[in-house]
A and B are shown apart, each in its own frame.
Chain A
Amino acid sequence: MAVLTVSRRLLLQGTAALAGLAALGLRAHAAGGGRLVVAADSEPKNLNPAIVASNGVFFVASKVIEPLAEASYTGENGLAPRLALSWEGSSDGLSVTFHLRPGVTWHDGKPFTSADVAFSALQVWKPLQNLGRTIFADLTAVDTPDPLTAVFRFSQPTPIQLIRNALPAVTAVLPRHLYEGTDIATNPANVQLVGTGPYKFAEYKPGQYYRLTRNDAYWDTGKPALEEIVFRVLPDRAGAGAALEADEIQLAAFSAVPLADLARIAKVPGIKVIPEGYEGLTYQLVVEINHRRKELADLKVRQAIAHAIDRTYVVDTIFLGYATASTGPVPKNASEFYTADVETYPFDVARANALLDEAGYARGANGVRFSLKLLPAPYFNETRQFGDYLKQALAAIGIDAQLVNNDAAAHIKAVYTDHAFDLAVAPPVFRGDPAISTTILVKSGLPAGVPFSNQGGFVSAEIDAVIAQAARTVDTGARTQLYKTFQKLVAADLPLINVAEWGFITVARDTVENVASNPRWAVSNWSDTALKG
């Protein structure tokens, strides 16, 4: 009975998708045969990972276009070589030398050389890429003394620690021969990808699937194990679980199966739930604060809000245990930087109420001290649910929060351009180094309209100074120490409130092998992923 409803439902929802797969000769039970069918919940139109460094793009593109290095559980400095074999920074921080992998060819047969790296760095990562713009801001030239050596020259000291931590996400190398002299942003190769990776881009049917096929000439001889990967577009979250149970797909990453469904699906024979493999992509649940509001500019009020949030409830009920309570702006699993030695705000409603009384915001006749506008980011179920919870948590301390729901575009405009919020719930990503996408949430002086940055009008000369100093500190130990100071200052001053941090969950058939083999597994190249039987 259950099986019947499942297939009916899918048939009704995705007739087009199914028809497309039927054309591929895909039977309902597609296990084995070397074709892995994966649920894709978004459908990026520009698939170029060198321009759009985002997980939605990496999910598909990372199998085709490779970075210089990938994150690793065991490698030195948490890295495993990909297109670069080794890298070293000069002691003055003005240059970084990459020794590239020999014998690598592009999918169209042309050889991969240092000229491709130089072109990607100067023409794409630095001017066009969302993250590269900051990291490579001071990159002035890339010398190519021979085809296998690339020397990055910086005008200002740039810490090797930052470059190292950024390698997996920002250094996808593009083929120079296809991009040079063209309009990079509109190049057809942004969709019909050409890379050096273990899989070649075969076809994209909008609304249906992306199909990748094995690259027989891959540099890592004997890999990949699979013949094909099909990313089937399945935007409906309830649909991914059902499709897994019916064995129509074998893997759903990025929590495509809702958290609330995991306990049930884990009991289905043949299906496993894998919470590992996302350590390098930690999301943080953050309350953004508009310091232009007189009440919120008062530290006591911010402390009161931090004390009003029950992190245990957030972790256990909203995230069903698949999260960790936060202490500050760096997540616990970033062990290189994390420090627990910061101010903490245990759940204490009485204390929160006392702080608000002290701050001079007494309860009115209706029990309300003041009203706020609360904008939960719409990207995740959990951010919305936390918004619902925060409204209640604030009601308990006499703050009346009015929820405002927007779609993604309207939310970004309201918070980051128009500043039309008092509190917002945001899910920023920690990308291996605080300088990549974390300090921007706190530092001042950014123009309005920069998404996922400090648009709350918070200014602290002390914090700004630490951020600026760390950006120019080449010595790894000293730089790490500065970021520990940064965490202390942020936890004490509360420019924003860090509530919890979480990774995604993969659900797969147990025939899929080598899942979660590195800390960025879902967005890595899957060259060792295989299907049993």
Chain B
Amino acid sequence: MAFLRRYLRSGAGMAGLLIIATIALGAIAAPWLAPRDPLAIAGPALLPPFTDARLPLGTDRLGRDMLAGLIHGARASLAVGLAAMVAALAIGSVVGTVAGFAGGLVDEALMRVTDAFQVVPRFLLALAFVSTLGPSIGTVVIAIALGAWTEPARLVRAQVLSLRERDFVAAARVIGMHPAEIAFREILPNALTPALAIAALIVAAAVLIEAALSFLGLGDPNIVTWGTMIAEGRNLLRTAPALSLLPGLALVITVLGIYLVSEGIGDALERRGRTTP
């Protein structure tokens, strides 16, 4: 609660929260806001925005409703972003905790694996993974998580290294707790905070990678995503710029919102550092 109060004091955090809350509400309410299949042909092709009250943002090359596409696209973007973040945090924190707590050879081995993943550019890794396994929303999430778990792993490991020398860990040892129990029930919850601060950054990167994959035709073709919309609009950039500008704008606003939230979390954590030494 104290954390939430500190967060709300951050201007950037508030702005970000407002943006993301709006987009998330739209995404959650998509089946009511735009009940038809967003891929259905809804009207004449290439209707410009603001010309038909029934199709406020116009239609694309095949006559699909742009507004429905944007709303449902938000679903895909946020879902992929959050799922990839959760997956990356889960893998990262387990690897980090085990490495930090076990130390020695296990630590060495796990950290070299982490290095191996870190030297491969994230997007390349995702691209290779999706083009091998075929595009579907599941593979896209895993592909993004594969490149994103290394930072939380390193952060958690660093925290664990300092935490495991603390008195409460020694106490836990003394009362005979199993090492795994100490690692995951005593240490991990305390080591997670800095990893949470970068969680928002992982979401933002995931949203962008998902859009880039869809742009290259490696998204799930059965759902609308902003990346696909931009890719399809690109050929008409000069005749119907709205087709790629609108989803592009949605992408920018979403990523900006997520960054502001991450800023807010960062601010809040810093204040805690100052007020409760």
Residues of A within 8 A of B (CB): 237-238, 241, 258, 260-261, 263-264, 313, 317-318, 378, 381, 385, 387-389, 391-392, 395, 402-407, 410
Residue picked from A260, A264, A318, most chain B C-beta under 10 Å: A260
B235-A388 in contact (CB<8A): no
Q: Does B249 touch A at the CB level, under 8 Å? A: no
Q: Does B172 touch A at the CB level, under 8 Å? A: no
B235-A381 in contact (CB<8A): yes
A264-B238 in contact (CB<8A): yes
Starting from the known contacts A238-B234, A260-B235, 20 additional A-B residue pairs (CB-CB under 8 Å) come to A241-B238, A258-B236, A260-B236, A260-B240, A261-B235, A261-B236, A313-B41, A317-B45, A317-B63, A378-B217, A381-B235, A385-B61, A395-B37, A395-B40, A403-B222, A405-B135, A405-B217, A405-B218, A405-B221, A410-B134
Give Cα A135–Cα B134 distance, bound, in whole angstroms: 37
B62-A389 in contact (CB<8A): yes
Q: Closest B residue to A237 by CB, please name it.
A: B235
Interface size class of B (residues with CB under 8 A): 20 to 34
The distance from the CB of B129 to the nearest CB of chain A, in whole angstroms, is 14
Q: Closest B residue to A316 by CB, please name it.
A: B45
A404-B41 in contact (CB<8A): no
The distance from the CB of B197 to the nearest CB of chain A, in whole angstroms, is 36
Known: A261-B236, A264-B238, A317-B62. A406 touches B134 (CB 8 A): yes
Contacts of A313 in B (CB 8 A): 41
Interface residues of B in 33-73 (CB under 8 A from A): 37, 39-41, 45, 61-63
Known: A238-B235, A385-B61. A403 touches B221 (CB 8 A): yes
B40-A238 in contact (CB<8A): no
Q: Can you list 7 A-B pairs, Cβ within 8 angstroms, ordered by A? A: A241-B238, A260-B235, A260-B240, A261-B236, A313-B41, A387-B221, A392-B37
A389-B41 in contact (CB<8A): yes
Proximity string of chain B (68-94) to chain A, C-beta cutoff 8 Å, 1 when within and 0 when not = 000000000000000000000000000
B221-A407 in contact (CB<8A): no
Contacts of A395 in B (CB 8 A): 37, 40
7 closest Cβ contacts across the A-B interface? A403-B221, A258-B235, A405-B221, A317-B45, A260-B236, A264-B239, A403-B222
Q: Does B128 touch A at the CB level, under 8 Å? A: no
Q: Does B237 touch A at the CB level, under 8 Å? A: yes
B239-A263 in contact (CB<8A): yes
Give Cα A31–Cα B223 distance, bound, in whole angstroms: 46
Q: Closest A residue to B235 by CB, please name it.
A: A258
Q: Does B131 touch A at the CB level, under 8 Å? A: yes
The distance from the CB of A261 to the nearest CB of chain B, in whole angstroms, is 6
Proximity string of chain B (220-232) to chain A, C-beta cutoff 8 Å, 1 when within and 0 when not = 0110000000000
Q: Closest B residue to A260 by CB, please name it.
A: B236
Give Cα A241–Cα B236 distance, bound, in whole angstroms: 11
Q: Closest B residue to A5 by CB, please name it.
A: B238
Q: Closest B residue to A317 by CB, please name it.
A: B45
A388-B39 in contact (CB<8A): yes
Residue picked from B234, B235, B237, most chain A C-beta under 10 Å: B235
The distance from the CB of B13 to the nearest CB of chain A, in whole angstroms, is 36
Contact of A261 among B62, B134, B221, B239 (CB under 8 A): B239
Q: Closest B residue to A401 by CB, please name it.
A: B222
A238-B39 in contact (CB<8A): no
Give Cα A264–Cα B238 distance, bound, in whole angstroms: 8
Give Cα A392–Cα B221 distance, bound, in whole angstroms: 13
B39-A391 in contact (CB<8A): yes
A392-B236 in contact (CB<8A): no
Contacts of A407 in B (CB 8 A): 131, 217
Contacts of A410 in B (CB 8 A): 134
Contacts of B239 in A (CB 8 A): 260-261, 263-264
B134-A404 in contact (CB<8A): yes
Give Cα A241–Cα B240 distance, bound, in whole angstroms: 15
The distance from the CB of B275 to the nearest CB of chain A, in whole angstroms, is 49
Q: Closest B residue to A258 by CB, please name it.
A: B235
Proximity string of chain B (115-145) to chain A, C-beta cutoff 8 Å, 1 when within and 0 when not = 0000000000000000100110000000000
The distance from the CB of B21 to the nearest CB of chain A, in whole angstroms, is 32
Known: A392-B39, A392-B41. A238 touches B237 (CB 8 A): yes
B40-A385 in contact (CB<8A): no
Contacts of B39 in A (CB 8 A): 388, 391-392
Give Cα A404–Cα B239 distance, bound, in whole angstroms: 29
Contact of B62 among A241, A258, A263, A388 (CB under 8 A): A388
Contacts of A405 in B (CB 8 A): 135, 217-218, 221
The distance from the CB of A480 to the nearest CB of chain B, in whole angstroms, is 39
Residue picked from B236, B237, B238, most chain A C-beta under 10 Å: B238
The distance from the CB of B100 to the nearest CB of chain A, in whole angstroms, is 41
The distance from the CB of B23 to the nearest CB of chain A, in whole angstroms, is 25
Give Cα A387–Cα B228 distance, bound, in whole angstroms: 14
The distance from the CB of A161 to the nearest CB of chain B, in whole angstroms, is 41
B222-A402 in contact (CB<8A): yes
Contacts of B240 in A (CB 8 A): 260
Give Cα A427–Cα B236 distance, bound, in whole angstroms: 23
Q: Closest B residue to A241 by CB, please name it.
A: B238
The distance from the CB of B2 to the nearest CB of chain A, in whole angstroms, is 48
The distance from the CB of A430 to the nearest CB of chain B, in whole angstroms, is 26
Contacts of A381 in B (CB 8 A): 235
Contacts of A241 in B (CB 8 A): 238
Q: Closest A residue to B234 by CB, please name it.
A: A238
Contacts of A263 in B (CB 8 A): 239
Contacts of A378 in B (CB 8 A): 217
Give Cα A392–Cα B43 distance, bound, in whole angstroms: 13
Contacts of B221 in A (CB 8 A): 387-388, 403-405
Contacts of B218 in A (CB 8 A): 405
Proximity string of chain B (13-45) to chain A, C-beta cutoff 8 Å, 1 when within and 0 when not = 000000000000000000000000101110001
A260-B61 in contact (CB<8A): yes
Give Cα A388–Cα B63 distance, bound, in whole angstroms: 11
A385-B62 in contact (CB<8A): yes
Give Cα A405–Cα B139 distance, bound, in whole angstroms: 14
Give Cα A406–Cα B221 distance, bound, in whole angstroms: 10
Give Cα A378–Cα B216 distance, bound, in whole angstroms: 12
Give Cα A391–Cα B217 distance, bound, in whole angstroms: 17
Residue picked from A258, A388, A403, most chain B C-beta under 10 Å: A388
Give Cα A391–Cα B38 distance, bound, in whole angstroms: 12
Contacts of B134 in A (CB 8 A): 404, 406, 410
The distance from the CB of B246 to the nearest CB of chain A, in whole angstroms, is 17
Give Cα A381–Cα B60 distance, bound, in whole angstroms: 14
The distance from the CB of A347 to the nearest CB of chain B, in whole angstroms, is 13
Q: Closest A residue to B222 by CB, please name it.
A: A403
Contacts of A388 in B (CB 8 A): 39, 62, 221
Contacts of B238 in A (CB 8 A): 241, 261, 264
The distance from the CB of B43 to the nearest CB of chain A, in whole angstroms, is 11
Q: Closest B residue to A396 by CB, please name it.
A: B40
Contacts of A318 in B (CB 8 A): 62
Contacts of A264 in B (CB 8 A): 238-239
